[in-house]
Each structure stands twice: as structure tokens, then as C-alpha cells.
Amino acid sequence: QQPVQSPQAVILREGEDAVINCSSSKALYSVHWYRQKHGEAPVFLMILLKGGEQKGHEKISASFNEKKQQSSLYLTASQLSYSGTYFCGTETTGGFKTIFGAGTRLFVKA
């Protein structure tokens, strides 16, 4: 079952923060986050494994609450380069496949 992402779209000014949420109706083992620019392949940002860990990548970080089956991606002090569509992907225990949400379109303007 496809995870649900929210919001569907976000418009930010440079320097503003944003949070993108991802929730699933199934028990999760891992959550992936990717960013895709128009016409290009998705680029891996980070993966969070069962255990409630939080990860960071420059000014982008994420958390995973396995009990709530939710993950959030935090973008701080956004830059123009952050524009794109963000996808969360989820995997269940023992699974081999990543199922993606519908995506969140992020537009950062100067």
C-alpha cells in the first residue's frame, strides 16, 4: 500500500524551513527519502531504519517513528537548489521492494 505524503506542494522563500510528512498503514522496517528534479532520476537523500533514529544531511534531516509508522523530512534554511519533488519510499520487514508516496513538490524562490 502506497504511503501518504503531505503536503502535496510547498512554496518557500530562500531561508525558510519546511517539513514533509510520510505515513503508512503498514508496519515499516525502513523509510527512504529521495529528491527528483524535473526530467531526471530521483537522487537518494537518506534512509532510516527501524529504531526511531534521526539522520541529517547538511541542512536536511529526517526522523522515523516506527510505532506511528510515520517519517518526517526537515528542510532548514532552504536554498534554491532544494526545489524539486520529494518522495518517501517505504519497506516492510522482510520485504525487497520500496513503495513510494505520490511526492511533495517543493519550490523555493529568491
Partner 1 sequence: SQTIHQWPATLVQPVGSPLSLECTVEGTSNPNLYWYRQAAGRGLQLLFYSVGIGQISSEVPQNLSASRPQDRQFILSSKKLLLSDSGFYLCAWSRRGNEKLFFGSGTQLSVL
Residues contributing to the site for partner 1 (CB under 8 A): 2, 29-30, 32, 34, 39-44, 47, 49, 87, 89, 91, 94-103
Nearest approach in angstroms of CB 53 to partner 1 is 13
CA gap 88, 48 in Å, rounded: 11
Nearest approach in angstroms of CB 95 to partner 1 is 6
DSSP string, 53-89: -EEEETTEEEEEETTTTEEEEEE-S--GGG-EEEEEE
| Length of the chain (residues) | 110
Cα torsion 35, 72, 83, 78 to 10°: value is -130
Pick the closer one to partner 1 by CB: 16 or 29.
29
Pick the closer one to partner 1 by CB: 4 or 19.
4
Pick the closer one to partner 1 by CB: 84 or 101.
101
Nearest approach in angstroms of CB 89 to partner 1 is 7
